[in-house]
Amino acid sequence: MDEERDPAVLGPFELLAVLGQGGMGRTYLGRRLPLENLGSELETGYHLTDAGESEPGLVAVKVIKPSMLRDGSEHSEAEARARFGQEIQTMRTVVSARVPAFRGADTEAEQPWLAMDYVHGPTLHKLVHTCGPLAVGPYGALGLALVEALRAIHGVKLLHRDLKPGNIVLGPDGPAVLDFGLARLRERDSAAALTRTGVGFGTPSYMPLEQATDAKHVDESADVYALGAVLFFAAAKRPPYKYPLPTPPNWEGVLPAFLPLLGRILVPVAAQRPSLDEVESDLLHLLAGHGLTAETAADQLRALVAGSGTVPELPAKALSDRPDRQVQQAAQQAVDRGAAPDSPWAPDLFDEFLDAEVLDLEPPDAKAEPEPPRAPAEYAPTVVDPDAQPAPGPPAPAQPDTTGYRPAPPRPPEPETASSAPPAAAVRAAEQLRKAYAHSGRLCP
């Protein structure tokens, strides 16, 4: 964490470390603060869910660029945020051990965010590149876990559309699929205009041919294809294609035992691909043919991960089960005076981001000196997939870094002076009323 760039608190979550950053925004490792008297308005506004544990667990807090909510149409920002709120409600209904549980979100924040359970483990990409292709047991356990995850996601009428080794984390309880509800947000990036019919979205190395040409109208079979492409990577340490092709992949290096299922999945015609139930049946048959059960295969995968040396090291703050005392006090004091828990850090929190948004509105010939890229932290749970190629399209212009935030330290209340500005208490009260009405849906159009 950079104390001059990163906030200490976001919503009711203490931020402990930077996990990574990318086109959507910035992701932090966090922990729910045990705040008292948070208030029904903030509880509702944060869409909070209980962790179901005596002590708050670790979460991944993803801060989303507001541009991701825009769809390039006539829809207003308020309408875009309302749609985001509806998708948040859908995301929280996914219940599966293979999908990190939803913990909270703020769709009305200046820079919206959402929090999911943190899964502590390496990505599949890192494990395979470190240890090589998977044997039958770990391979089967991985496939069964992905079937379980996609079944839960499809069960609430969502698609993943970007399943790949970098979005699969191998945690203590087995594989988990990340970013399952964010595909539609990525589509809305107006710079890429990905909601238009006839435009692809996703990672070409792991997407089917129909998704490369029209991502808007794909169905569950596109995720089944991605599952097969991920299993191909697990078997061969490479994706099946650089870009989707209407021809079979190069099967060199793939064990013969894996070929029947992969050959059924990696076909260009969506209707010819097996269902998730059929994939599950084939994987169980594969394991049985090698004298393995689903349970023993899962144990083999856990043992492989534990002995691989790829499990990321948590930062010291995350090893403690208590929040930082000063952070806790500042957040609680803010709540006690009727403000949001992150309000002590709010005044300058998004200055750099907003400055960058202004630069985006300048004429095309305006020059802006971008910041040099920063190396990602070692313990990032999601890494950029070196095998993944960006979707074909014109190169995007260089943009300034928009993911750094500069927190302001808590300030004592200033003495009242004669001024034309409204009192600070009145400003806070007005903001509370605005958020309460916004979350209740009673604002007039």
Question: Which segment of 164-173, 269-278, 432-441 scores lowest on mean pLDDT?
Answer: 432-441
Strands of the 58-64 sheet, one edge to the other? 9-10, 13-21, 25-32, 58-64, 113-117, 102-106
- Whether 1-120+313-386+393-445 and 122-311 share one fold: the answer is no
Alpha-carbon distances of 274 from 52, 150, 262, 349, rounded to whole Å: 37, 14, 10, 48
Q: Please provide the average confidence, as pLDDT, over all residues in the chain.
A: 77
Architecture of domain 122-311: Orthogonal Bundle (1.10)
Whether residue 187 is predicted with pLDDT greater than 80 in this model: the reply is: no
Whether residue 125 is predicted with pLDDT greater than 90 in this model: the reply is: yes
The structural domains of the chain, with segments of one domain joined by +, span: 1-120+313-386+393-445, 122-311
Whether residue 186 is predicted with pLDDT greater than 70 in this model: the reply is: no
Residue whose pair of structure tokens reads 């995850």 in the numeric block: 149
Confidence label for 195 from pLDDT (cuts 50, 70 and 90):
very low
pLDDT of residue 112: 86
Q: Of 8 and 424, which is predicted with more confidence?
A: 8
Domain 1-120+313-386+393-445 maps to which CATH number in 1.10.3720.10, 3.30.200.20, 2.40.50.140, 1.25.10.10? 3.30.200.20
Q: What is the pTM of this model?
A: 0.74
DSSP-derived secondary structure for 28-83: EEEEE---S---HHHHHHTT----SSSS--EEEEEEE-GGGG--SSS--HHHHHHH
Mean pLDDT of all residues in 156-180 = 91
Summarize pLDDT for 324-372 with one digit per residue, the tens.
999 999 999 999 999 999 988 865 544 454 344 333 333 333 333 343 3
pLDDT of residue 402: 36
Contact, 214 vs 198, CB < 8 A?
yes
For residues 318 and 323, give the distance between their C-alpha atoms in angstroms, rounded to a whole number.
Answer: 9
Summarize pLDDT for 13-48 with one digit per residue, the tens.
999 999 988 767 789 999 999 999 998 889 888 988
Summarize pLDDT for 383-408 with one digit per residue, the tens.
334 444 444 544 444 444 333 333 44
For residues 35 and 288, give the distance between their C-alpha atoms in angstroms, rounded to a whole number.
Answer: 50
Tell the burial category of 74 from Cβ atoms under 10 Å away from its Cβ (0-12, 13-18, 19+).
Answer: exposed
